[in-house]
């Protein structure tokens, strides 16, 4: 039997040939070979796990962590930044669809228009539904003028206010202004039934003035706009001054709360103020009878 020579010591072993070392694999897909590493954590990543970075590539987890640390863009007066004024477009569509529905169901005005007596008897939804209806298409050219003016004003003013306030706050402003106009009609409108988005639109007029002042813009043009429309309200017959002025006052108050809320706890103050306005409007309807209708 011949004896075998002892194995060489580690220092005597031959060097590893180039290319013989272990090939790195993706940390998420161990079966995939890769020589690309994440620029942040230095882990190997395959093409499916690569994300473009300012320099090189990053892995999925590092990109996710980086996005969480990036502060989201905000509208000037709070809320998320608005790229497209979707709330404005949604309100336009709702008003136009409601106007088209009046052709198919003429009785909709009687059932859902703003009427003090019906609201007093418990049909509270008329406070908001009447703000999405307009003069009947069967009444001639005035009805067309009615909705065209309101929708043109919403188209012109809405996107600017939505971008300044953020979509959620803009929606709250519009709806509270609409309800404020309806509450004024309930209290001071008498037996007349009213419809139209004018209360909400006048609320936007007031808000545009407040926001312009807050952001340092020249608001004189807005004052002229408000003055002219208020004059029209009292000069031409058949226009509900109650709805217009109620919406104007409500929208101005809500916009002031949004625009001048302190930077600290801004969202809490803004939403709290909007809720307080809504509570006041609800109390006016539930605790007071229509003031312009004797005997109630």
**Active-site annotation, residues:** 198, 244
Residues in the chain: 296
Q: Are 242 and 193 in contact (CB under 8 A)?
A: no
Q: Rounded to an integer, what distance in angstroms lies between the CA atom of residue 231 and that of residue 213?
A: 23
Q: Please list the helix, strand and coil fractions of the chain in percent, rounded to the nearest 5, in that order.
A: 60, 5, 35
Question: Encoding tokens for residue 256?
Answer: 């002031």
User: Can you tell me which residue has the tokens 């309807």?
Assistant: 285
Q: Rounded to an integer, what distance in angstroms lies between the CA atom of residue 227 and that of residue 214?
A: 20
User: Could you tell me which of 273, 252, 253, 251 has the C-alpha nearest to residue 262?
Assistant: 273
Question: Encoding tokens for residue 222?
Answer: 């807005």
CA quadruple 194, 197, 198, 199: dihedral positive or negative?
Answer: positive
């Amino acid at each position: 039997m011949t004896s075998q020579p002892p194995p060489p010591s580690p220092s005597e072993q031959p060097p590893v040939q180039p290319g013989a070392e272990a090939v790195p694999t993706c940390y998420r897909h161990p079966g995939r070979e890769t020589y690309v590493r994440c620029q942040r954590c230095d882990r190997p990543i395959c093409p499916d796990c690569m994300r473009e970075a300012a320099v090189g590539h990053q892995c999925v987890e590092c990109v996710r962590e980086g996005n969480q640390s990036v502060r989201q863009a905000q509208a000037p007066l709070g809320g998320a930044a608005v790229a497209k004024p979707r709330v404005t477009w949604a309100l336009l569509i709702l008003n136009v669809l409601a106007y088209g529905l009046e052709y198919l169901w003429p009785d909709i005005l009687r059932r859902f228009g703003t009427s003090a007596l019906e609201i007093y008897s418990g049909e509270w939804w008329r406070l908001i539904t009447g703000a999405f209806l307009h003069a009947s298409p069967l009444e001639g050219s005035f009805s067309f003028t009615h909705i065209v003016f309101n929708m043109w004003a919403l188209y012109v003013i809405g996107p600017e206010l939505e971008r300044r306030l953020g979509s959620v706050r803009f929606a709250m402003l519009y709806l509270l202004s609409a309800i404020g106009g309806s509450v004024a009609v309930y209290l001071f409108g008498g037996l007349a039934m009213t419809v139209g988005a004018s209360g909400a639109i006048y609320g936007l007029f007031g808000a545009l003035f407040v926001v312009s002042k807050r952001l340092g813009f020249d608001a004189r043009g807005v004052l002229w706009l408000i003055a002219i429309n208020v004059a029209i309200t009292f000069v031409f017959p058949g226009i509900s001054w109650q709805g217009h002025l109620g919406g104007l006052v409500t929208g101005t108050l809500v916009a002031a709360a949004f625009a001048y809320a302190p930077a600290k706890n801004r969202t809490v103050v803004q939403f709290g103020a909007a809720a307080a306005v809504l509570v006041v409007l609800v109390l006016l309807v539930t605790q007071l009878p229509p003031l312009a209708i004797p005997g109630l």
